[in-house]
Amino acid sequence: MLAAAREARPGKSRRVVGIFAAAAVLLAVAIIVPLWMRLDRQRALLSLGEIERLASYGQFEPAFELAMVARRRLPGDTTLERLLPLVSDRLTIESDPAGATITLQRISPDAEGRFPSAVSAGTTPLADLRVPRGNYRVVVEKAGFGPVERVASSETLRADGRFAADSVIRINVRLLPANEH
């Protein structure tokens, strides 16, 4: 009987150790996660000065990337919302007929002098797509229709003084059947 009691104890003590280990892990997570989130928010707040500095030097693409990271961590931050129009443009692209694919390619080379590859931006109608400030080659294509190319840029609007923080670059295209092109 004594031997049976001794054999039962190790199993019970392992369960108790397991429960304490699980409780310790939960406690650590409960402490670390909020701390990590607070540090992440602090880093995002500190990046606002860097976003402004980059924008002042015309380095809109890296400023935009930082702003998008900060925006996920600082939703509704008024300073960030003030900076976004300085580093980005908003595009609205419509086509007749709708449902055309849109491809964007930055016209300006990157820091190494390479031109970025074209990227898919979605389908028409596309409303208020936020992109890093710059000049873009826009290609609108739909099966059975000839492609249409345009340049999207807020540069002339800014130069003419017609650009406001809430300005949107609008592109409207009429796609012609491929046999008429």
Instruction: Sort residue 58 into left (φ over 0), alpha (ψ -120 to 50) or beta.
Output: left
User: Residue 129: its pLDDT value, please?
Assistant: 94
Question: pTM (2 decimals)?
Answer: 0.70
User: Residue 180: its pLDDT value, please?
Assistant: 61
**Spatial separation of the C-alpha atoms in residues 72 and 77, rounded to whole Å:** 10
Predicted confidence band of residue 150 (pLDDT cuts 50, 70, 90): very high
State what percent of residues in the chain have pLDDT above 90: 38
Could you report the per-residue pLDDT of 40-61, keeping only the tens digit for each? 778 877 888 999 999 888 888 8
Predicted confidence band of residue 2 (pLDDT cuts 50, 70, 90): very low
What are the Cα distances from residue 74, in Å, to 34, 45, 115, 129, 152?
Answer: 15, 8, 32, 20, 29
Please state the separation of Cα 5 from the chain's center in Å. 62
Q: Average pLDDT, stretch 29-44?
A: 73
Predicted confidence band of residue 35 (pLDDT cuts 50, 70, 90): low
> What domains can you pick out in the chain, each with its CATH number?
87-180 (2.60.40)
Which residue in this structure is represented by tokens 């290609």? 139
